[in-house]
Chains A and B, each alone.
Chain A
């Protein structure tokens, strides 16, 4: 069934990372992603990789889940690494055959790029695996709050995100119903070329759109009945609060960032630029 698809791939758990305040998680994970780009020699990159592996273990998310996330980007990793290997020029030749020359610097560069890509994917999957969509939305609303000064409709964006998350399973279910109804009337959606198949989607999309508008109208009335008047003066059931463990995690990642800068200064950069 299509409605079985989990949204945001959240995997409930009780690990240290699950329990972190979602705002802190977003901030810290962004910091890690930024600093993986700043690691320039083996020592600092080693520290970064060690930290990421440690967090993967702490998160208690089965490792195969992370590999599943990586599957989609293997090609990208391989392709970028190969290109870098072929095109970057350096001083120490490792391998030479006809017009292909590979330098030692190019090997380091491609290795680093591959590690960076992998770390980005692992860290962002970690965020979605360990944070419920509701928490994520609440955190984004709070983190973006300062942008209200620039007239960014932060509350409205968060509300839209919540409603979208709420209605994705409902609409998937509805799509399935409509597809079955059209199949029962003889619609053929599996055969034919791409144009024919795209055309076969029209009798599914039109009823879906019409019913979505009806739902939107109903929902708006229901929200009116529940005194919704926008973000002003709203309170929240679950208030996000930083706790001791958030401070601890902050210090830990802060230490890592400082460590990377320090380790960078101990040995020369292995990168070309």
Chain B
């Protein structure tokens, strides 16, 4: 499969900013359990993620996007190539704790991430592991819960919360470790629309207000549309990357790789095919409405 490359025009606003995670020519294969040859999942992926950036990682099931994410805080180690987190080599065992407190990770199922029977104790789990003095802990936990809007629930039992609330508690648990970057591995996949909205709002706030770098793996194109940069992974290779408006304008290429585009973009394309004068880089319903209005006036 040829590698369509439109990487020349990256999100220019972050050009030159410090590189936080650097994935260099990453190969990865799962060890086989029997005699069959090991299954290679990633074949030479290189990605640089800059400080404060919001990057969305897209790809259909089995494309290797989650595998890439798990390399970002040393849950998986490369079979070939290198991964650097803030300059630290992830294969260096001595740096493991430092790497994991720099890059936090939130997973799909909120139930399987919460450890304690009370919300605030769960949020404190990370700082407790890092040996933060008890006197400072209270403030850290309260701040983290406020950042995701779950402070009022601090004394609740996790199993009594809704999916969106549980996921926000899980996010607070990561924020409490004061990471520079958080990787979200399909955080909204198991949530209802309301929970999805809550979690996306929380992620948005983290990036904009706390300046945390966000890497979001998702199936939902409307979530990816909010990112500064979209990276598309296909069959363990980087297919393309660029600003969302840029990437999503290649509708035919995305379809070919079984990926959706945001609905407003799709609508805009149909209208364009019908002869209306609508730009290609329409992402949000608002943009779409404006473009239609403009086309109507002409």
Contacts and interface: CB of A to CB of B under 8 A. Distances in A.
A214 B173 CA distance: 21
A215 B126 contact: no
Interface residues of A, number: 31
Nearest to A7: B117
Given A226-B126, A227-B100, A237-B124, A219 B131 contact: no
B137 A225 contact: no
Could you tell me the dominant secondary structure of chain A's interface residues? helix
Given A218-B109, A225-B75, A229-B129, A237 B137 contact: yes
Interface in B67-98: 73, 75, 97
Contacts of B141: 237
Interface string A203-228: 00000000000110011011111111
A239 interface: yes
A225 B118 CA distance: 20
Contacts of B97: 227, 229
Range of interface residues on B (Cβ < 8 Å): 35 or more
Contacts of A99: none
Given A218-B113, A237-B121, A225 B105 contact: yes
A238 B154 CA distance: 13
Contacts of A173: 159
Contact of B111 (A132, A215, A224): A215
B101 interface: yes
Given A162-B116, A166-B115, A221 B121 contact: no
Contacts of A222: 105, 107, 112-113, 115, 170
A227 B120 contact: no
B129 A228 contact: yes
Nearest to A138: B121
A173 B116 CA distance: 17
B125 interface: yes
Contacts of A165: 117
Given A224-B100, A226-B173, A227-B100, A236 B112 contact: no
Contacts of A162: 115-117
B101 A166 contact: no
B128 interface: yes
B138 interface: yes
Contacts of A265: none
Contacts of A93: none
Contacts of B159: 3, 166, 169-170, 173
A134 B118 contact: yes
A149 B115 CA distance: 27
Contact of A224 (B75, B109, B130, B174): B75
Nearest to A211: B112
A219 B177 contact: no
Contacts of B101: 227
Nearest to A133: B117
Contacts of B33: none
B134 interface: yes
A163 B117 CA distance: 8
A215 B112 contact: yes
11 contacts: A165-B117, A170-B159, A214-B112, A225-B73, A226-B177, A227-B130, A235-B131, A235-B134, A236-B124, A236-B128, A237-B134
Interface of B: 73, 75, 97, 100-101, 104-105, 107, 109, 111-118, 120-121, 124-134, 137-138, 141, 157-159, 170, 173-174, 177
Given A3-B159, A133-B117, A166-B114, 14 more contacts: A134-B116, A215-B112, A221-B75, A222-B113, A222-B115, A225-B100, A225-B105, A225-B174, A226-B104, A226-B174, A234-B128, A235-B127, A235-B132, A235-B133
